[in-house]
A and B are shown apart, each in its own frame.
Chain A
Amino acid sequence: MERNLHRQLANMKKSLFDQGYLDEQFIQLEELQDAANPNFVEEVVTMYYRDSARLIQNIDHALEKNPLDFAKLDNYMHQFKGSSCSIGAKKLKNECTQFKEYCETGNGEGCKRTFQQVKKEYAALKKKLEHYFQFARQVGPVEKACRPK
């Protein structure tokens, strides 16, 4: 039974990777989890979501202004991107890069569009991770992280 749960958890994780939600960095996080930091991954991810919510809001507000302040937008997005890639949010990171490119070229429409994508990905990942962690808690202490095949 337990093995099933573990296996399920592993599958969940694998699918997250396969679908491109997460990348290597997430593995790093898991590798850092140990006896001293038993819930490290969850902690960091929670911190990330809490902190980035603020950034998302800032960007939203900035996108409502007219004319758009691209420098500021780029600034916010830079921070957001930094955090996102720290937790290994792959898709999100790519969207952020796209957003930054639009900022550089001054493409307001592009920015807005991309940001919608960003928010979508952000929400989707959040849900998936929540689910994942919930399950992981049920399963018990996670074994050493292993790279998905």
Chain B
Amino acid sequence: MVVEEIRGKSGGENGNYDNFPVGMRVLAVDDDPTCLRLLETLLRKCQYHVTVKSQAREALQILRENKDRFDLVISDVHMPDMDGFKLLELVGLEMDLPVIMLSANSDPKLVMKGVTHGACDYLVKPIRIEELRNIWQHVIRRKKFDSGKQNKCTDQINNCQASGQGQMSLMTGNVDQNGKFNRKRKDDDDESEDNGDENEDPATQKKPRVVWSIELHRKFVAAVNQLGIEKAVPKRILDMMNVEGLTRENVASHLQKYRLYLKRISSVATQQANMAAALGIKDSPFVRMSSLDRLGDFRNLAGSGRFANTALSPYSANGMLGRLNSPGGVNLHNLTSSALIQPNHAQNLSNSMSNAGKFHPVITPGSQNGSLFQGSLEMDQLQKNKCTTEITNFNSMDDSRMFTAASAFTNTGEAIGSSSNYLNGDPNNLMMLHGNSQQALSGGFGNQSSLNMASFNAESLNGGVGQSSNFLDHGKFNETWQTIQLPKVQSNTLFSAEHLQDQLPLNTVRDNNSSNSPHLQNNPLDISSTTMASRPLEDSRGEIQFQEGLVGQNSDTIFGSFDFNIPANGNLPPSSKSLDQSTGIFNRKMEMVVNSRLPGGASTLMQRNEIEQSNTDSRRSNENFLLEQAKLQGGFVSQSYGSLDDLVNAVVKRV
């Protein structure tokens, strides 16, 4: 489907845009009517086809209805109903469209924020028409990179207007890195199609992408784990994966992203820990760890092949990554101490708690290949561990909840890598939830991005683990949540539930499913509802699998599976665990998960993690744990806890 979409799109585009950039379809969003009118007129003057919306939510809605309806989005930064950066992330994540930011403020910090969130340009008001005449380059650039790293689309360049020729050189950039893997790897997909795609005539505009489905990603992660992260080289991984039609280049590119992801996770965890420490427990608002940054970074990685230096650099990742593949739940202790990363941006907490144990942060290639994570971690987890987050300790709930940490990542399309530790069947899988920056702080902070920290204690995952794992996935991101599968977590994980920005704190999460809905409602997004339902492990597993399935379906959705890192000890008592857990767990919704291209136009992957989780925290011992952790961490999510039950992540899948 993805391939068809791409082809169709490219075909359509080719058809419509013989005179490209004339007729380029732009969506303009600005709450100020004067500016909007002006922008509209300016764009029309450039002969673009313009649609205007004064509300970000309306804009998202219209985009979701039909992903192929627009080529480019221009949005104001300062809007009352939704932060422009958030919109930026979401659009990039869900729809993978180029987004240009507009603002009256030319503060370099904001410009940087735009960059890290994945904006392809930042214009300062008042806008002049000359600036708008060149914006079509962003559309072309993206297309070219998307078409597959293997083939440079020289043809596309030719199609561009002569005036744009000079800009095509931009495309010579890291195609590999930017290229998405669009390869449908569904079980039922026939390989020949993939092969066929690969053999497509280079002259075609759009190359099929290799889509890293969950399964594919899982295989990848398994291979990497087997080889050892340091020793994992593309050739060997490829051999181990034994997947037809996959090339070494695909694997190399994916590996690169994965590595970045791991780095980021670890840094995030550090940051989170720091933050947690800094913040108070109860209220620790989710510090928005530069989740957005992460996303942005990730996205950048993927998109431009640049790795988010910004995000990673400031953090001192404590050997979180080092823990990869380490058996048995590494306690979060390690994490907490080390890993809290200084929040880069106050706003977003994105950080996923890195696991105490190992996790494989799956690096989801910017945007597009979210499926990686999903598949790999979650699936593995599920399969292996029956785990799902369930905090048995929690008061009432015995069922494990599955968190689907759907991180709706903003545009950045960061994929949240899920720790693939689980793959190893390690009982102490840590789940890492990477917070999405998107998530609003549970504390009701106005911040858009909230950190989703899911700390969960997977209580008896698979029956084997006696620990209660709380997997909270907060990420309430308005938009999408990913379902995170909690591997059997031994210890409780803390999560900071993210709140939807405009959502009320989920304190009510406790009930299954109930919590999610309220949150979801707040989001006008039609993201397929995040229904968090706490379900018993079994269910969660099923859910996870479901999710997997979803993922699989969305060929290019990237699912960030969050793996929660659950500290080895699943004890609820906060004392021990708190540290271990979650602090680092963030739902990185952002990451990846959702590939902007969800097939079927669904934002599917975006699963929303309901903040319900936050609600969950109230109950359980985990909560205490969380609190403690929060303390340690600086106040993560204590709120988010919510009942683990609530953790249920609704996997929203838009079909």
A and B are interacting partners: yes
Instruction: Check: A114 CB closer than 8 A to any chain B CB.
Output: no
Q: Which of A36, A78, A79, A86 contacts B38 (CB 8 A)?
A: A86
One of A4-12, A43-51, A135-143 contacting the partner: A43-51
One of B124-132, B252-260, B346-354, B523-531 contacting the partner: B124-132
- Interface pair A86/B125, CB less than 8 Å apart: yes
Instruction: Check: A25 CB closer than 8 A to any chain B CB.
Output: yes
Q: How far is the CA of A47 from the CA of B34 in the complex (A)?
A: 6
Q: Which of A62-99 contact B (CB under 8 A)?
A: 75, 78-79, 81-83, 85-88
Instruction: Check: A28 CB closer than 8 A to any chain B CB.
Output: yes
Q: How far is the CA of A51 from the CA of B36 in the complex (A)?
A: 12
B113 to chain A, nearest CB (A): 15
A31 to chain B, nearest CB (A): 8
Q: Which of A28, A36, A78, A81 contacts B129 (CB 8 A)?
A: A28
Q: Which of A27-44 contact B (CB under 8 A)?
A: 28-29, 31-32, 36-37, 40, 43-44
- Interface pair B38/A44, CB less than 8 Å apart: yes
Q: Given the interface contacts A44-B34, A48-B34, A83-B34, does A78 sit within 8 Å of B105 by beta carbon?
A: yes
Chain A residue with minimal CB distance to B125? A82
Chain B residue with minimal CB distance to A55? B32
Q: Given the interface contacts A25-B126, A28-B128, does A43 sit within 8 Å of B37 by beta carbon?
A: yes
A40 to chain B, nearest CB (A): 6
Q: Select the residue from A43, A44, A79, A86 with max chain B CB neighbours within 10 A.
A: A86
Instruction: Check: B35 CB closer than 8 A to any chain A CB.
Output: yes
Q: Which of B17-55 contact A (CB under 8 A)?
A: 31-35, 37-38, 41-42, 44-45
Chain B residues with Cβ under 8 A from A78's Cβ? Answer: 78, 104-105
Q: Given the interface contacts A78-B104, A79-B78, does A51 sit within 8 Å of B126 by beta carbon?
A: no
**Secondary structure of the A contact surface, majority rule:** helix
Tally of contacts, chain A with chain B, CB under 8 A: 57
B137 to chain A, nearest CB (A): 22
- Interface pair A82/B129, CB less than 8 Å apart: no
Chain A residues with Cβ under 8 A from B35's Cβ? Answer: 82-83, 86
20 chain-A/chain-B pairs, Cβ below 8 angstroms: A28-B128, A32-B41, A32-B42, A37-B41, A44-B34, A47-B34, A48-B34, A78-B78, A78-B104, A79-B78, A81-B104, A82-B32, A82-B76, A82-B103, A82-B104, A82-B125, A83-B35, A86-B32, A86-B34, A87-B34
- Interface pair A51/B34, CB less than 8 Å apart: yes
Chain B residues with Cβ under 8 A from A28's Cβ? Answer: 42, 126, 128-129
Q: Which of A37, A75, A83, A88 contacts B32 (CB 8 A)?
A: A83
With A83-B34, A83-B35, A85-B104 known, 16 other A-B pairs at CB within 8 A are: A31-B129, A32-B41, A32-B45, A32-B129, A44-B34, A47-B33, A47-B34, A51-B34, A78-B78, A78-B105, A82-B32, A82-B35, A82-B76, A82-B103, A86-B125, A88-B126
Could you list which residues of chain B lie within 8 angstroms of chain A, going by C-beta atoms? 31-35, 37-38, 41-42, 44-45, 76, 78, 103-105, 125-126, 128-129
Interface extent on A, as a size class? 20 to 34
Chain B residues with Cβ under 8 A from A82's Cβ? Answer: 32, 35, 76, 78, 103-104, 125
Q: How far is the CA of A85 from the CA of B103 in the complex (A)?
A: 11
Q: Which of B44, B78, B126 contacts A86 (CB 8 A)?
A: B126
Chain A residues with Cβ under 8 A from B37's Cβ? Answer: 43-44, 47
Q: How far is the CA of A102 from the CA of B42 in the complex (A)?
A: 33
Chain B residue with minimal CB distance to A46? B34
Chain B residues with Cβ under 8 A from A31's Cβ? Answer: 129
Chain B residues with Cβ under 8 A from A52's Cβ? Answer: 34
- Interface pair B105/A79, CB less than 8 Å apart: no
B100 to chain A, nearest CB (A): 16
Chain A residues with Cβ under 8 A from B45's Cβ? Answer: 32
Chain B residues with Cβ under 8 A from A88's Cβ? Answer: 126
Chain A residue with minimal CB distance to B41? A32
Q: How far is the CA of A52 from the CA of B44 in the complex (A)?
A: 25
Chain A residue with minimal CB distance to B76? A82
Q: Which of A12-34 contact B (CB under 8 A)?
A: 25, 28-29, 31-32
B130 to chain A, nearest CB (A): 10
Q: How far is the CA of A44 from the CA of B33 in the complex (A)?
A: 9
A25 to chain B, nearest CB (A): 5
Chain A residues with Cβ under 8 A from B76's Cβ? Answer: 82
Chain B residue with minimal CB distance to A87? B34
Q: Select the residue from A36, A40, A79 with max chain B CB neighbours within 10 A.
A: A79
Top 6 A-B residue pairs of the complex, sorted by shortest distance between their CB atoms: A82-B104, A48-B34, A25-B126, A83-B34, A85-B126, A32-B41
Chain B residues with Cβ under 8 A from A85's Cβ? Answer: 104, 125-126
A24 to chain B, nearest CB (A): 8
Q: How far is the CA of A82 from the CA of B414 in the complex (A)?
A: 31
Chain A residues with Cβ under 8 A from B105's Cβ? Answer: 78
Q: How far is the CA of A51 from the CA of B33 in the complex (A)?
A: 8
Chain A residue with minimal CB distance to B103? A82
